Chains A and B, each alone.
Chain A
Amino acid sequence: MKRTPLYEEHIKLGAKMVEFGGWEMPLNYPPGILTEHLTTRKFGGLFDVSHMGRFLISGQDALPFLQYTLTNNAAALLPGQSQYTIIPNHDGGAVDDAYLYRIDENEYILVVNAANLEKDWVWLQKYRQKFPQLIFEDRTAGIAMLALQGPRAKAVLEVILGDMRKLPEPARNNLTTVEIFGAKVPIARTGYTGEPICFELFPPAKIAARLWDKLLEVGKKEGIVPVGLGARDTLRLEAGLPLYGHELGIDVKGKSIPVFALPVARLAVSFGKIKGEYIGREALMKQFQEIELRLEDRLDTPKEKLLVPKIIMPMAISKNSIARAGCQVYVNENLVGNVTSGTVVPYWKTEGTGIKSKPGAESGRRAICLAYLDADLKEGQGTKVVIRDKFANGVIVERHIGSEAAPYARPLLIEE
């Protein structure tokens, strides 16, 4: 099993270590998943995400290569910007989803899922002959990756950098490179928690442990704690973010999911002139047209011929039941799909209302999930979810959290 440069730190902190995507990673630290989730939402959390794959892509052909092998328009990125993107296959499905960071004029970092690193590498290698001026390297071992997420994250970085003007511009996806411990460290305003204030840092592996310790030392005064993969998953699920193998690529039963089954695909797939031709464009275009027709209420394709018959939707589950991946979902006795990820998440009961709301002192728990359901179902639709041979009530919701009340992510609850 592979270990990140922070392995020793996790052991010192008393983490429960588990195997994930070929890596030995912290599932949780002594406070446990629920506490780590709540602490991230109220103060902040520090995550070791060095198990994610990092490809460094540079050279004159970097941009044409990225345009050909990814779905988003990489030309829209200025140096110091990043975007969510998908590595498409030829049939309208996803090899993986990824985040593309333009760290310099001709230098990009592409972050991919840990479990897919080798598959993505082999896939992308197949297309590089067309791009002779391309440098394409797997830098997963040389560059670490830390995520600092939550309301107090900015205060911690300000102390470490000594000057808040060094931080990337305060909008999601911005990126800047700073100097820490004599090394160049790209810092991006990105993350996988739904937190409005979020940073991901890419230090060289050799200073990663020093930086981790420093972030925790300064973070402690702000209430920030280390957070493992357990809470990383509950936070991303609450934020409605997709996970490969559940909401994207292939589902829990191993079946291919069309890219446009994911609502966020609309922002990650480009058909513009500048984007040009790329892998899977034609298949994706057909999906896109179908989705557009549905939005305009002009779709008359019979159900069995639909390219995107189902969509990933957030669903809340009634009290005392917990839906898990694979649970079947019914509406009026018709099977309409299944749960793709489900769990219980804790939340802070809020004080105040609307944009003035903030987390209070008391916490509650709720069962939430993402589900892959018939595309014509709408928000507010009641469902029955089969959980261990019994029916539980579900309702399709727009989102599980909102970020209007920044710096806090606010829980959006259903009325029982």
Chain B
Amino acid sequence: MYPKELKYTKTHEWAREDDGFITVGITSFAAEELSDIVYVGLPSEGGKVEKGSSFATLESVKAVSDVYSPVSGKIHEVNHGLQDHPELLNKDPYGEGWIISVIPVEKGELNDFMNAEEYEKFVEEEKGK
């Protein structure tokens, strides 16, 4: 149920590497847990992100939550379309609901993260808690 080509964090972000850029979003599980997302606080292009720190905030009807960067680097592009259409995060979290793309400081950082199968198991454990 989770796309095989992506890597996953324990804080429920996904990351994908293409041509040295790393695209980051939130997983369908995270989107569903948040319920309808109504506002997205986005960073600026050219800014820096640090591995494990928050770079965006998502507000849903229920609560506010942070999105954490899986890598350190420079923000190359921000999906500004989310500002007017935050619902894309719920409707298409792996496609049009991507949040930022980053030029990472180091290569190969994604290797440490979970693959789809491991993430699915992780989610099941989280649900059981």
Given contacts A32-B90, A344-B59, A388-B57, contact A230 B64 (CB under 8 A): no
B127 to A: closest C-beta gap in Å = 11
Closest to A32 in B: B36
B118 at the interface (CB under 8 A from A): no
A317 to B: closest C-beta gap in Å = 11
Question: How far is it, in angstroms, between the C-alpha of A324 and the C-alpha of B63 when the chains are bound?
Answer: 8
**Besides A28-B35, A34-B61, 19 other A-B contacts (C-beta < 8 A):** A16-B35, A32-B36, A32-B90, A33-B36, A33-B62, A230-B35, A230-B61, A230-B62, A320-B39, A322-B38, A322-B64, A324-B64, A343-B62, A344-B38, A344-B39, A344-B59, A344-B61, A365-B38, A388-B64
Given contacts A322-B39, A365-B38, contact A33 B57 (CB under 8 A): no
Q: How would residues 51 to 83 of chain B score, 1 for a CB under 8 Å from any chain A CB and 0 otherwise?
A: 000000101011110000000000000000000
B32 at the interface (CB under 8 A from A): yes
A4 at the interface (CB under 8 A from B): no
Given contacts A230-B62, A322-B64, contact A32 B35 (CB under 8 A): yes
A147 at the interface (CB under 8 A from B): no
List 20 A-B residue pairs with CB atoms under 8 Å apart, sorted by A's residue number.
A16-B35, A27-B35, A28-B35, A32-B90, A33-B35, A33-B36, A33-B61, A33-B62, A34-B38, A230-B35, A230-B61, A230-B62, A322-B39, A322-B64, A343-B61, A344-B38, A344-B39, A345-B61, A388-B57, A388-B64
Question: How far is it, in angstroms, between the C-alpha of A32 and the C-alpha of B38 when the chains are bound?
Answer: 12
Whether A34 and B36, one on each chain, are in contact in the complex, defined by CB atoms closer than 8 angstroms, is yes
Question: How far is it, in angstroms, between the C-alpha of A28 and the C-alpha of B59 when the chains are bound?
Answer: 17
Q: How would residues 15 to 47 of chain A score, 1 for a CB under 8 Å from any chain B CB and 0 otherwise?
A: 010000000000110001110000000000000
Interface members, chain B 9-62 (any A CB < 8 Å):
32, 35-36, 38-39, 57, 59, 61-62
A234 at the interface (CB under 8 A from B): yes
Question: How far is it, in angstroms, between the C-alpha of A34 and the C-alpha of B64 when the chains are bound?
Answer: 16
Question: How far is it, in angstroms, between the C-alpha of A234 and the C-alpha of B38 when the chains are bound?
Answer: 13
Q: How would residues 344 to 374 of chain A score, 1 for a CB under 8 Å from any chain B CB and 0 otherwise?
A: 1100000000000000000001000000000
Top 10 A-B pairs, shortest CB-CB distance = A344-B38, A34-B36, A33-B61, A32-B36, A322-B59, A33-B36, A33-B35, A343-B61, A230-B35, A234-B61
With a CB–CB cut-off of 8 A, which chain A residues contact B35? 16, 27-28, 32-33, 230
Report the contact-size class of chain A (Cβ under 8 Å from the partner): 10 to 19
With a CB–CB cut-off of 8 A, which chain B residues contact A34? 36, 38, 61
With a CB–CB cut-off of 8 A, which chain B residues contact A324? 63-64
Q: How would residues 83 to 116 of chain B score, 1 for a CB under 8 Å from any chain A CB and 0 otherwise?
A: 0000000100000000000000000000000000
Closest to B66 in A: A388
With a CB–CB cut-off of 8 A, which chain B residues contact A32? 35-36, 90
Closest to B32 in A: A16
Closest to B33 in A: A16
B16 to A: closest C-beta gap in Å = 26
With a CB–CB cut-off of 8 A, which chain B residues contact A343? 61-62
With a CB–CB cut-off of 8 A, which chain A residues contact B61? 33-34, 230, 234, 343-345
Question: How far is it, in angstroms, between the C-alpha of A158 and the C-alpha of B114 when the chains are bound?
Answer: 56
- In this complex, the member of B35, B61, B64, B90 whose beta carbon has the largest number of chain A beta carbons within 10 angstroms is B61
Question: How far is it, in angstroms, between the C-alpha of A320 and the C-alpha of B90 when the chains are bound?
Answer: 19
Q: How would residues 325 to 347 of chain A score, 1 for a CB under 8 Å from any chain B CB and 0 otherwise?
A: 00000000000000000011100
A113 to B: closest C-beta gap in Å = 19
